Amino acid sequence: MQTEKKKPKRSPFELVTAPDPSEALRIQEMLRHHCIIERTIDICEIRYVAGADAAYDQDTAYAAIVVMKFPGLEVVEKTCSVQEVSFPYIPGLLSFREGPAILDAFSNLTTVPDLIFMNGHGYAHPKRFGLACHVGLLLDIPSIGVAKRLLIGEAGQPDAARGSTEPVLDNGEIIGRAVRTVQDARPVFVSVGHKVDLAQAVDMALKTTTIHRITEPLWHADLVSRQCRDKQPVPVTPYFPG
């Protein structure tokens, strides 16, 4: 069993903030060994799942988190954070552009999810430490990356049936899976973030996908982030525990 290493004694916000790409790479290298890529929670323990996504208007990020009941997928809470972004978009370093706003949005939640989906990669990353790994580790919450396109590696086309998968391979290593979440729709690319294994990541992605290609928590987070950016009112969802 993989043992959890002691994380550096710095605030989560400090660990997604870097003045330049070289410092970002240094932080990424420092943290990636602390990620746990095995199952730590059983499905019967999952009551709430969340999706995190961000929309942009030039250098302003609008990061949204939507929490839903599981398995019913009723929305119980929505939050959005608006942050000025100074770090440029660099493939592989998305955490340092999007992470601060996502962490701020998470700090406003009253319902702590048992698992969070990130719109991006986790282990399927050049350093094996994408956005889903980074944010999941800093929040210490099981996390899964779901992306619409590959950052690294290759994958065959899954069969047309919902639930079909093909491995994402990088130099012979399985780093994720291409998953057909909706019949005949284009696959999404699922990878481990933190405190889950790949089989569980794929299973949870399928269990939280209905009519949309991406998981329902991510679909709602995308909608809320764009509503926030476009200054549309985001309906306040009452929270009914239980």
Q: Note the pLDDT tens digit of each residue in 95-129.
A: 999 999 999 999 999 999 999 999 999 999 999 99
Instruction: Report the share of the chain in percent with pLDDT over 70.
Output: 92
DSSP-assigned beta bridge partners for residue 143: 116, 194
Question: Which residue from 65, 55, 4, 59 is spatially nearest to 34, judged by alpha carbons?
Answer: 4
pLDDT band at 238 (very low <50, low <70, confident <90, very high): very low
pTM over 0.85: yes
**CATH of region 36-229:** 3.30.2170.10
| Residue 242 predicted with pLDDT over 50 | no
Pairing of strands 173-179, 188-194: antiparallel
| Residue 9 predicted with pLDDT over 70 | no
pLDDT band at 239 (very low <50, low <70, confident <90, very high): very low
Once rounded to an integer, what is the mean pLDDT over residues 1-21? 76
Q: Where are the domains of the chain?
A: 36-229
For the record, the structure tokens of 128 come out as 């094996």
The phi, psi pair for 203, rounded to 5°, reads -60, -45
